Structure 1
Amino acid sequence: MDLKSSSDNMHPIRGGRGIQEAQVWEAADALLQDGLRPTIERVRQRIGSGSPNTVSPMLERWFATLGKRLEGRSPRLVDGEAQQLPLAIVQAAQQFWDVARREADQVQVQKTEAARRELDLQRNALARKEADLQQREASFEHARVALDEALVSSRQAVAAMETQMHAQQQESARLLGDSEAEVRRLRRALDEAVASKEALREKTAMELGAKQRAAEETEERHLAQERRLLSEVDRERMATRQASAELAKMQKAHAADAETARSALGAAQLALQHEKTAHSDAAAAWSLQHQAAQVELATLRERSAGVEQRATDLASQLQRLQVQSEREITQLRESHASTTAALRELKVPLGESEKAPPRRAMKSPK
């Protein structure tokens, strides 16, 4: 019985996509009879068609029944009789089976050796990881101790900072109260100085106006008196001229009248001299009064300037105190904000470290 008839009698024909399972089995038997190992590619070349996905399961089923066929037992019966392969095919298949078994044993040994090496590598890696874990646990323990110490020192620092901040707040409140009291005092002093300055300015203006009016009245009186004296002098001059003319005309005839006129002229000159002397005295008195008024006006101006300077100094001092108070308040606020931020930053890590659960040490694999 040849290989083809044996294959047809041993296997039913199963439908596939383009090829039948019987075709695959016949091609595998033919390759085996030729001394070649049936592979998917060789079977496809033998058949001339078929995809690897279709040929692969059919070829695996062929290999699954090959052992029973080599032992002389057919996996299927046709008309109740066992079908056996020819002796040449059985011998070739036996040789191929032995070669395949040796190759499979070698492959299994190689896989076992590779698995053993892989296991050794994994064991070494696990040992290294265990050592690393132990070292990390020791590092974590040191870090935990350092963190506990840092936590204690941080809490102490926080307590000290809170105490210092409380003291600074009290000092700031005291300084702020003192500054506000000083500002109120300076404002009252400035208001009083301004009021005094205004009152002094009004009084000085009134006195100066009165003195100016008195000086103007005195000057008007002086001018009127001077005009009166000048008019009198002019009248005396006219009278003197007239008397001189009459005296020249009547010199010889009226000697007595000339003497009388001369006496009257002397009296007039004496009166004019008295008037000039009185006018000079009045002018000197007015000059003294004017000088006194000027001196008093200068004194009042100096006092007003002193008051203005004092008010300006008080305003400058008030402004400096306000700027200094604002600067100190700003510094205190910045210090309070930085202290609050530092406390917040310290409290957040402390809260996280207290909430974090302790890590358990990993057990080394036995």
Structure 2
Amino acid sequence: MQMKSTRGVQQDDVWAAADALIAEGLRPTIERVRQKIGSGSPNTVSPMLEAWFATLGPRLGVSGAKKDMPGLPVAVQSSAAKLWEIALSQARQDAESSFTKDREALAAERAAVEIQASALTQQEAVLVERLAAADRAHEVSQKQISALENQLRHLQTALAERDNKILEVQARLSTVEQQREAERQAFDEKSKHHAEERLRSDERALANERRLMAEIDRERQDVKRAKAQATELQQRALDATNALETRTNELTQRLRNADEELRIAHQALATANERADELRTLLNAQVDANADVLKQLQAMMAAQTRPPATTQFKHRIKSQAKDQRKSYKTSS
């Protein structure tokens, strides 16, 4: 009875693809048959390919029933049977050796993929830690910026207070000048009759003027120093702001680079996992196929069939084992 796939792949398609691969000198595998057909899942192709392998013995011209060799002496028949058993045993040993080497090679590749996946996982952990460190550094930078902004506000407040003090001194100077002018006018009125008093008044006014000028000079020096200090503080604040902005840009770029590295690591890890899954699927399929071939060899040995051409059949079995070895290398 012919099996059909729910996806439209029929047993005839699988068998035809397997025959075509044999004609090309390749051993039929699940992946090669799927590539040959162009469709079909491994679960669909696998049982159909196993059915094809089950017909391999009869299609090679090997009969399942033991037959006598009329016209030949019993001793010759016994020797031929022993030679046939030896050929089957040797073919089985060759096939098992080939299968063992292929399984070991596939297991080694699978272990390499798992090591790569572990390395990618460790790389991901390192990138995550780097991202966390960058976040912490960014948070510290933000706190430093906030502290400098507070310091700048205090400096601006101090500068405003200095400006107010300058205005107060200027107002006092204007008041003193007005008082001096009023005193002079009053003194001028009295100078006609009080020359000596005028002289004393001039001396007092001169002393007051000198005192006020000295005070004004001190205030001007204080204002000059305050302005210089304010300018220096503003420049320091500007330099700090520029440095922090540069640092923030560097941290932002580092965060972007770390995100990109983490994305690449995730992608590589996903690819490695997909490759490991594919290798597991291929390994299981090849183990099943190898088990079928070994069962056929065991059945042939148990039946002790008469070989139409012992040497040719042994070469044929060795050729199949060689094809299986090639198929493993190709699929890996």
Give the letter for the 2:175 counterpart: S
Change in Cα spacing, 1:148 to 1:222, as seen in structure 2 (3 Å) is farther
Deviation at 1:207?
Answer: 2.3
1:173 counterpart (114, 118, 121): 118
1:224 counterpart (140, 164, 168): 168
Change in Cα spacing, 1:157 to 1:188, as seen in structure 2 (3 Å) is same
Query: What are the superposed Cα offsets for residues 88-134 of structure 1, whole Å, 9 maximum, x if unpaired?
Result: xxxxxxxxxxxxxxxxxxxxxxxxxxxxxxxxxxxxxxxxxxxxxxx
Asked whether the equivalents of residues 179 and 325 of structure 1 are also in contact (C-alpha less than 8 Å), the reply is yes
Higher Rg of the two aligned structures: 1
Pair 1:341 & 2:286 matched:
no
Give the letter for the 1:157 counterpart: D
TM-score (norm 2): 0.53
Deviation at 1:346?
Answer: 2.7
Change in Cα spacing, 1:137 to 1:237, as seen in structure 2 (3 Å) is farther
Query: What are the superposed Cα offsets for residues 248-283 of structure 1, whole Å, 9 maximum, x if unpaired?
Result: x66655544444444344334423422331232021
Change in Cα spacing, 1:229 to 1:153, as seen in structure 2 (3 Å) is farther
Asked whether the equivalents of residues 145 and 244 of structure 2 are also in contact (C-alpha less than 8 Å), the reply is yes
Aligned match of 1:295: 235
Give the letter for the 2:102 counterpart: A
Deviation at 1:214?
Answer: 2.2
Change in Cα spacing, 1:250 to 1:228, as seen in structure 2 (3 Å) is closer
Which segment is superposed worse, 288-297 or 310-319? 310-319
1:327 counterpart (260, 267, 271): 267
Change in Cα spacing, 1:252 to 1:207, as seen in structure 2 (3 Å) is closer
Q: Structure 2: which 5+ runs fail to align?
A: 1-58, 63-87, 310-332
Q: Count residues in correspondence.
A: 219
Deviation at 1:361?
Answer: 5.9
Query: What are the superposed Cα offsets for residues 304-354 of structure 1, whole Å, 9 maximum, x if unpaired?
Result: 325423532442343133113202212211221332233244334324433
Aligned match of 2:108: 163
Q: How well do the aligned residues superpose, as a CA RMSD in angstroms?
A: 3.8
CA distance in 1, matches of 2:174, 2:228: 23
Q: How high is the sequence identity, in percent, across the aligned residues?
A: 14
CA distance in 2, matches of 1:325, 1:177: 10
1:280 counterpart (182, 204, 220): 220
Aligned match of 1:353: 293
Asked whether the equivalents of residues 127 and 262 of structure 2 are also in contact (C-alpha less than 8 Å), the reply is yes
CA distance in 1, matches of 2:181, 2:229: 33
Deviation at 1:160?
Answer: 0.8
Asked whether the equivalents of residues 145 and 241 of structure 2 are also in contact (C-alpha less than 8 Å), the reply is no
Pair 1:304 & 2:244 matched:
yes
Change in Cα spacing, 1:256 to 1:287, as seen in structure 2 (3 Å) is same
Asked whether the equivalents of residues 172 and 332 of structure 1 are also in contact (C-alpha less than 8 Å), the reply is yes
Deviation at 1:290?
Answer: 0.3
Give the letter for the 2:214 counterpart: H
Query: What are the superposed Cα offsets for residues 209-245 of structure 1, whole Å, 9 maximum, x if unpaired?
Result: 33232222222222222222233233334444x25xx
Deviation at 1:284?
Answer: 0.7
Deviation at 1:136?
Answer: 6.9
Give the letter for the 1:203 counterpart: A
